[in-house]
A = this chain, B = another copy of it.
C-alpha cells in the first residue's frame, strides 16, 4: 500500500470523491522527491491530462492541507511549496545560494525550543514546519575559497 493509496483511503472514508484529478495531483506530488509549488504540480499533471486547471490544483491542496495530509512550506518567497505529510515531523534548511534543501529532525533540533517556550512563557508553539535559510556546507566552502 503506497502513500498515495493511504491518502486516497482517508479521503474515501471521509466521503470525498476520488476523482481522476485528485488521484493525478496526489501522484504528481508523491512522485517528486522534494517539495513543489502549485504551479509545478499543475505542470506535471498537465503532461498526462492537459485540461487540468490550476484552480483544481489549489482546491485539492486545500483539501489535503485541511486533513493534514499535505504540509505547506513557506519559504518567504511569496510562493508556497507543498509536500506530503510524513510520520516524523521535520523541517528544512534551504541554501540561499544553491537552493538545496536539507531535512532536519524536529525532535533533535526544534523540540528543545518548543519545550523552553512552554516552560518559560506558557506558550504552546505550533512548530509544524520551519524553513531555515542559510548557506550550505558546499557554498560556504566555495565562498571561503573564491
| Chain A residues close to B by CB (< 8 Å) | 74, 76, 93, 95-96, 102, 104, 108-110, 112-113, 116-117, 121-127, 130, 132-137, 140
Chain B, residue nearest A141 (CB): B122
Closest to A113 in B: B109
Tell whether, in the assembled complex, residue A117 and residue B132 are in contact, meaning their CB atoms are under 8 Å apart.
yes
Cβ contact within 8 Å between A132 and B125: yes
Q: What number of copies of this chain does the assembly contain?
A: 2
Q: Establish whether residues B113 and A93, one from each chain, have CB atoms under 8 Å apart when the complex forms.
A: no
Q: Could you name 11 residue pairs across A and B whose Cβ atoms are closer than 8 Å?
A: A93-B117, A102-B121, A102-B123, A104-B117, A109-B113, A109-B117, A122-B137, A122-B140, A123-B137, A125-B134, A127-B134
In the A-B complex, list the 7 residue pairs whose CB atoms are closest, starting with the nearest.
Answer: A122-B137, A125-B134, A124-B135, A74-B76, A124-B134, A125-B132, A126-B134
